[in-house]
Chains A and B, each alone.
Chain A
Amino acid sequence: MLPAAPDEWTIQEAAHLLRRAGFGGSPKDIESFHALGRYKAVESLLAPTEPVDAFNLPAWATHDQALADMKERQEQFQEIRRATRDLSPEEAEKVRKEYRQKQQRTERQHGIEAQGWWFRRMLKTEAPLREKMVLFWHDHFATSLQKVKQPVLMVMQNELFRRNATGSFKELTHSILKDPAMMLYLDTQTSKKGQPNENFAREVMELFTLGEGNYTEPDIKEAARAFTGYSLNRLNGTVVHNKRQWDEGEKKIFGKSGKFDGDDVIDLLFAQEAAARYVPKKLWEYFAAEDPPEEGVDALAKSFKAADFKVEPLLREIFRSKAFYSDKIVRNQIKSPIQFLVQMFKELELESPPQGYTVNAQLQLGQVLFMPPNVAGWDWGKAWINTNTLLTRYNVAGFITKGAQESSQLADNGDAMMDQEMDKKQMRVANLLDRAQRTWAGPDYEKIAPRPLREDPEKLVDSLVQRFFQAPLGGKERGAFIEYAVSKKGAIFTNKEVGELCHLMLSTPHYQLD
């Protein structure tokens, strides 16, 4: 067990826990969270009162509708087959192409809706740790809409993560083997007896359970044989183990021999020492800091194994530990793009993001929900930041804090260069952006920076610093903000000027840290 911190805590520590185990909050949110005391606050995160189904799924993603859609698709497919039977190959191809395009349009639309649905859920949920764990599992068992292509399957997987958010990692891994989206993503559904596809076997060892160096190439080859025979029924989205396509022969994996199937292999994986270390280390890195010391990982691995791979006790240990609140960890993690966006909305007390804007912002910042770059998920930490993404963060913050006044700027400078090479996809994004920009009003600055506060630039700055950083800043930054605020305090300190001050605060290296 990691040494625990006392129940009593500071408001800074409360803000830290709410940022890391959730997406931060407004000054009021943090105050009431702090009032619970450390232990109760941790329990409130681990056992939220909000039910798992508190948010309605998009209509097309509900079980019955999804089933009906799949059936309809199948029927349409057959109908097209009938209809094209007597056509020339060219005409038939044209009909098929039209159908495919229609299908793709629908799916693209659903994909955007799914992304918006999950993002809003992160923003509004009363169970922030659950959503943060869903994001963790999404990164861990990374699956991308780009290959899976069916948003409904991605939402099903997302719900699987939510139901198992803090449950057993072992059970979740068993489920992911038979998860339709994962099967399509790692080609399990085309892997057959005599001709195994190694994709899932390799990634389940390297990326999901053990990590590089804890298995051999023959282990992968043999496991791939065991993972054959799982097939996805595209009519109802269920997965069955088809014994005829399964390689029922003897396999030798991790020195053990048997007529293993996929579930057997997963049990074998969890019998390996490395399985107890792999996810605890990743969880510490996700919630606390990179490169944890060996002893820390040892302690967590021991607890994880004792809890039979249940995640909840492990999280409790992390969030109660003294180490989690140490100076080296607090305000020293680089925000992921999703964290940056959701937290900024919460700090600005915004109820919902501007239409269509957040998906584009995710794309520019390098983290699009349901679209991790590859099966290893996203690279975290410093990898989020380079000259390009940092400037983009600043500009995203500018738009959110200042609203529609930005639009002409963004539109102007691109035109001359972009018309030549802008493809249709960019065009669509640009149009979406344009619409967002015309209608986005920005935050309610009367609430965030009440008029009386604006009389005293120093107080105004300190209040905003508390809102955005939840900790005192270095003298240089604070001084610059005050100087700026003083220069703005002419005859009248308008909302526009508060917005500019906020933008300047968010356009700093410090704001990228949590």
Chain B
Amino acid sequence: MKTRRDFLRSTILGASATWTVPMFVERTFADLHMGARDLATQPVTGKDGTILVVLQLAGGNDGLNTLVPYADDAYHSARPSLGKKEKEIIKLSDHVGLNGAMPFMGSLFKEGNLGVVQGVGYPNPNRSHFVSTSIWETADIQNRSSTGWIGRYFDNACDGADPTVGISLNKTQPESFGAAKNPGVCLSSPELYRWIHGGGEKAQAEEFFASLNSPEDDDNPVDGASIDMPAGGKVGGIEGESNLAFLERVAMDARVSSAKILELASKYKSKVNYEGTPISRSLNMVSRLIAGGMPTRVYYVSHGGFDTHNQQVNSHDRLLGQLDRALKSFFADLKEQGNDKRVVLMTFSEFGRRVSENASAGTDHGRASCMFLAGDAVKGGLFGAYPSLTELDQGDLKHNVDFRGVYASVLEGWLKTSSKPILRGDFAKLGMIG
């Protein structure tokens, strides 16, 4: 069987930068036919594959002021200054409503395309941003895994795919992309996502650059089995890989993906307006790459600032408003392209906040919170039960939905793959998709 490096080398590295996507896709299929012994292996297509967008609300989103239990007296008494009044929210049921800063999400809910999961968390939650984020990204509540749940999806279900099977629009690689074989790529601006030579005799320089940035050991499968010096692959790396091998692999992935991404991203112009906020810009980029026909299955974007210990109201409402407007533009854009049926977006955050507000008109690190799933394929509605605000655990909401159940729903219902090897266990699906 060919190794991934063989494959990439023979198909792409040999070709010039002007090779086209359809040719690439065709060859991917050819390669998969050869190597597809595992039934879990999925073809990656540029035309009609389903796409998952994972949107991180970084810093611990306050679920209580996002999905507001407005009818609960305990809510108002725990939050005298932060609590949302009934008239400030968008009612979803007799008990809960969305923060008023999210009118688009409200309309999506009414149209039946927003799934809201209530009371999501995991057993023995950890209140550290870093540990908890890591738990969500690795889907390992012991926090011992060196691969991420999305990376394991790539490894298990997208064998032989090119590096752009996953794209993170971040300067740093999310831990969820950590993989044994293919951790996807990462970029912040497609214009600068290439080697800029700028001198004379460009072609010649680029040829040398290419040879210097291809791994030497083309014959070794990238399975990390016999590398004598394991260096922690916790963040973005591959398990058991030396620093040099890691750098060589990233260098090759960068070269392989950069020309294509630059070309595709510049081809499509959104007809829809986006705000200038980072989250809007990121989703705009995702939409352009989808329109361009990238074979990407999972995009990852991040919206930060949710660590609201202090003077929460203004900042939290502002962040949710930015999110809402970004999603509004994004879904309108997808519709305009005709890709709206191919995309599901899922939000997550490392934890919710404490039920009671603190003395600085903010909230401290808590536990259970809510998740959103948005898209045409989503069966909208409320899932799980809203946790009790009176039966608390150390001042925190108790979770009643395990987040891995949401992941399982997305993996099986949307990405059409078995979730068990990826999540390393069976988790009840929620039925909001598929």
Contact = CB atoms under 8 A, between A and B. Distances in A.
Contacts of B266: 416-417
A458 to B, nearest CB: 16
24 contacts: A190-B359, A289-B231, A291-B232, A334-B247, A383-B236, A385-B236, A386-B171, A386-B236, A387-B163, A388-B185, A388-B186, A388-B254, A391-B254, A391-B258, A395-B196, A405-B199, A406-B196, A416-B266, A421-B284, A423-B276, A476-B216, A504-B208, A504-B212, A508-B251
Nearest to B212: A508
B310 interface: yes
B173 interface: yes
B243 interface: yes
A386 B173 contact: yes
A22 interface: no
A480 B210 CA distance: 11
A197 B172 contact: no
Contacts of A290: 231-232
Nearest to B242: A332
Nearest to A384: B172
B244 interface: yes
Interface residues of A, number: 73
Given A391-B254, A398-B196, A413-B191, A382 B364 contact: no
A202 B173 contact: no
Contacts of A417: 190-191, 265-266
A477 B232 contact: no
A391 B252 CA distance: 11
A91 interface: no
Interface in A127-144: none
Nearest to B174: A386
A508 B248 CA distance: 8
Given A190-B310, A197-B358, A332-B243, A386 B212 contact: no
Interface string B309-334: 11000000000000000000000000
Given A192-B359, A382-B231, A421-B284, A387 B185 contact: yes
Contacts, number: 199
Contact of A500 (B195, B199, B246): B199
Contact of B129 (A187, A374, A483, A499): A374
Contacts of B205: 484, 500, 504
A300 B334 CA distance: 57
Contacts of A190: 310, 359-360
A509 B258 contact: no
Interface in B177-227: 185-188, 190-200, 204-205, 208-209, 211-213, 216
B243 A381 contact: yes
Contacts of B43: none
B309 A197 contact: yes
A199 interface: yes
A416 B274 CA distance: 17
A366 B185 CA distance: 16
Given A290-B232, A381-B232, A512-B247, A487 B199 contact: no
A460 to B, nearest CB: 15
Contact of B204 (A364, A398, A487): A487
A101 interface: no
Of B185, B187, B208, B232, the most chain A CB neighbours within 10 A belong to B208
Nearest to B131: A212
Given A406-B198, A496-B199, A199 B191 contact: no
Main secondary structure on B side of the interface with A: loop
Interface string A497-509: 0011001100111
A416 B267 CA distance: 11
B251 A390 contact: yes
B34 interface: no
A333 B243 contact: yes
Interface string A403-431: 00110111001101110110100000000
Interface string B231-249: 1111111000011101110
A387 B229 contact: no
A195 interface: yes
The size bracket of the interface on B is 35 or more
A347 interface: no
A149 to B, nearest CB: 13
A379 interface: yes
A328 B228 CA distance: 10
B163 A383 contact: no
Given A191-B359, A212-B131, A395-B195, 10 more contacts: A202-B127, A291-B232, A333-B243, A383-B172, A387-B253, A387-B257, A391-B195, A409-B198, A417-B190, A476-B216
B208 A483 contact: yes
A434 B299 CA distance: 32
B342 interface: no
B244 A390 contact: no
Q: Which 8 A-B pairs have the closest CB atoms?
A: A195-B359, A509-B247, A387-B254, A386-B186, A383-B235, A423-B276, A382-B237, A409-B198
B434 to A, nearest CB: 31
A445 interface: no
A115 interface: no
Nearest to A398: B196
Contacts of A398: 195-198
A262 B195 CA distance: 52
A394 interface: yes
Contact of B172 (A195, A366, A394): A366
Interface string A368-400: 000000111001011101111111101100100
B309 A187 contact: yes
B213 A508 contact: yes
B244 A421 contact: no
A212 B213 CA distance: 39
A53 interface: no
